[in-house]
Chains A and B, each alone.
Chain A
Amino acid sequence: MGQSLFEKVWNAHAVKTLSNGQTQLLIGTHLIHEVTSPQAFGMLRDLGLKVKFPHRTFATVDHIVPTDRQEEPFEDPLADAMIRELRANCAEFGITYFDLGSGHQGIVHVVGPEQGITQPGTTIACGDSHTATHGAFGAIAFGIGTTQIRDVLATQTMAMSKPKVRRINVDGELGPGVYAKDVILHIIKLLGAKGGIGYAYEYGGTVFDNFSMEERMTVCNMSIEGGARCGYVNPDDKTYAYLNGRPYSPKGDAWDAAVAGWKAMASDADSVYDDVVNIEASDIAPSVTWGTSPDHGIFIGESIPDPAQAASEEQRVAIEDALAYMKLGAGQPIKGTPIDVAFIGSCTNGRLSDFRETAKYLKGHKVAAGVKAIAVPGSQIVAHLCEQEGLDQVFRDAGFEWRAAGCSMCLAMNPDKLIGDQLCASSSNRNFKGRQGSPVGRTILMSPVMVAAAAVRGEVSDAREVFGI
Chain B
Amino acid sequence: MALEKIITVSGTGVLVPGSDIDTDRIIPARFMKCVTFDGLGEYLFHDARFDPDGTPTGHPLDNPRFTGASILLSGVNFGCGSSREHAPQALYRFGFRAVIAQSFAEIFFGNCATLGVPCVTARAEDIARLAAAVEADPATEITIDLEAREARWPGGSFAIGQPESAREALTSGRWDPIGELLEASPLIAERAATLPYLAPTAA
Contact = CB atoms under 8 A, between A and B. Distances in A.
Interface of A: 12-16, 18-22, 24, 26, 28-29, 35-36, 38-39, 42, 47, 49, 52-53, 55-56, 64, 76, 78-79, 81-82, 85, 96, 119, 122, 127-129, 131, 143-148, 150-151, 154-159, 161, 193-194, 197-198, 224, 227, 229, 248, 250, 254, 257-258, 261, 293, 314, 317-318, 321, 411-413, 420, 430, 432-435, 437-440
Contacts of B156: none
Given A197-B106, A258-B196, A147 B176 contact: yes
A5 to B, nearest CB: 15
B140 interface: no
Given A194-B80, A293-B20, A411 B29 contact: yes
Given A119-B197, A150-B178, A318-B20, A432 B81 contact: yes
Contacts of B52: 420, 438-440
A157 B166 CA distance: 19
A39 B73 CA distance: 28
Nearest to A35: B32
A263 to B, nearest CB: 14
Nearest to A143: B83
B195 interface: yes
A318 B17 CA distance: 12
9 interchain residue pairs of minimum CB distance:
A439-B47, A145-B85, A78-B33, A143-B83, A145-B111, A146-B85, A129-B83, A38-B35, A159-B177
Contacts of B114: 145, 147-148
A38 B86 CA distance: 12
A98 to B, nearest CB: 13
A127 B196 contact: no
A157 B82 CA distance: 21
Contact of B28 (A49, A145, A434): A434
A197 B184 CA distance: 29
A154 B84 contact: no
B63 interface: no
A413 B200 contact: no
Given A127-B83, A154-B181, A158-B181, A432 B188 contact: no
Interface centre among A193, A258, A440 (most CB of B within 10 A): A193
Nearest to A421: B52
A407 B123 CA distance: 39
B76 A314 contact: yes
Nearest to B50: A439
Nearest to B180: A18
B169 interface: yes
Interface of B: 18-20, 22, 24-25, 28-30, 32-37, 46-47, 52, 76-77, 80-86, 88-89, 103, 105-107, 110-111, 114-115, 163-166, 168-169, 172, 174, 176-178, 180-182, 184-185, 187-188, 191-192, 194-198, 200, 202-203
Nearest to A160: B110
Contacts of B178: 47, 150-151, 154-155
A318 B37 CA distance: 31
Interface centre among B77, B115, B168, B197 (most CB of A within 10 A): B197
B191 A15 contact: yes
Given A143-B107, A437-B30, 9 more contacts: A15-B191, A21-B165, A35-B32, A39-B85, A47-B178, A79-B33, A161-B163, A318-B19, A434-B29
A258 B198 CA distance: 12
A159 B166 CA distance: 12
A413 B192 CA distance: 36
B41 to A, nearest CB: 14
Contacts of B115: 147
B105 A151 contact: no
A465 B166 CA distance: 52
A140 to B, nearest CB: 13
Given A16-B184, A145-B83, A151-B177, A413 B191 contact: no
Contacts of B163: 161
A53 B33 contact: no
Contacts of A127: 83-84
A145 B110 contact: yes
A12 B203 contact: no
A39 B35 contact: yes
Contacts of A82: 33, 35
Contact of A432 (B24, B36, B172, B203): B24
A161 B165 contact: yes
Contacts of A430: 24, 81
Contacts of B200: 55
Interface centre among B24, B174, B187 (most CB of A within 10 A): B24
Contacts of A42: 35-36
Given A21-B165, A432-B25, A122 B197 contact: yes
A21 B103 CA distance: 22
Contact of A439 (B28, B111, B166, B185): B28
Contacts of A420: 52
A26 B188 contact: yes
Contact of B168 (A21, A55, A440): A21
B4 to A, nearest CB: 16
Given A55-B203, A81-B35, A147-B115, A433 B110 contact: no
A78 B34 contact: yes
Interface centre among A55, A144, A154, A157 (most CB of B within 10 A): A157
Contacts of B198: 26, 28, 53, 56
A194 B184 contact: no
B127 to A, nearest CB: 13
Interface centre among B18, B106, B169, B174 (most CB of A within 10 A): B106
A53 to B, nearest CB: 7
B171 to A, nearest CB: 10
Given A20-B168, A317-B19, A96 B184 contact: no
